[in-house]
Amino acid sequence: MRVFGIDPGSTATGYAVVERSGGRFRLLVAGVIRTQTKDPVSERLKTIYEGLQAQLMVANADCVAIESIFRHRSSESAIRLGQARGVALLAASMNGLVVTDYNPMTVKKTVGGHGRAGKADVARLVARLLGTDHKLASDASDAAAIAMTHLMHSPFQRRPMARRGRI
């Protein structure tokens, strides 16, 4: 299974395509779509959408995994994140891909071993799980962690559907 992971953000949206074969993870592509804070919100959302759309078209992914919205200290930052997340959901939907979301604590617990793992810990473990020495940008690393979380959780999600004849 090939998963397109998305870490949405209004200034930096991370993406990564990860697949699992024989118990090993393989990173196919990862990057960050950056926007300019001086640009109007509508332009920033357009940049995110177009960037994700371009990546999704070549990724040949089976599904999308995305970080869910979590608590924010500022309602304004939660709204901006929600807008970026909405654009990401639209891009996935326009490509006919099923989306599963994971909260940050689940991602940290799955990849990092506990829900309180810091960004640096998660990035280090993502690199180790991918068997790579090169350091990914923080947002791309988070997107890879989200994709790996889906790959680790998806066998449990598929079983009930398979019994109903959907897979």
pLDDT tens-digit series, residues 13-49: 999 999 998 889 999 999 999 999 999 999 999 999 9
Spell 96-126 as b/e; 16+ CB within 10 A means b: ebebbbbebebbbbbbbeeeebeeeebbebb
Phi, psi dihedral angles at 64 (to 5 degrees):
-125, 140
Task: Inform me whether the pLDDT recorded for 77 exceeds 90.
Answer: no
* SS3 assignment, position 87: helix
Q: In which residue are the tokens 């304004």 written?
A: 76
Domain span at residue 97 reads: 2-163
Instruction: Name the catalytic one among 19, 50, 67, 133.
Output: 67
Residue 157 has pLDDT above 90, yes or no: no
Looking up residue 59, the CATH number of its domain turns out to be 3.30.420.10
Q: Is 62 a catalytic residue?
A: no
142 is known as an active-site residue: no
pLDDT of 133 above 80: no
pLDDT over 70 (residue 145): yes
- Select which of 7, 19, 39, 142 is catalytic: 7
Domains in the chain: how many in total?
A: 1
User: Is 133 a catalytic site residue?
Assistant: no
Asked whether residue 117 carries a pLDDT value surpassing 90, the answer given is no
pLDDT > 70 fraction of the chain, expressed in percent and rounded? 90
Considering the candidates 19, 121, 139, 142, report the single residue annotated as catalytic: 139
pTM of the model: 0.88
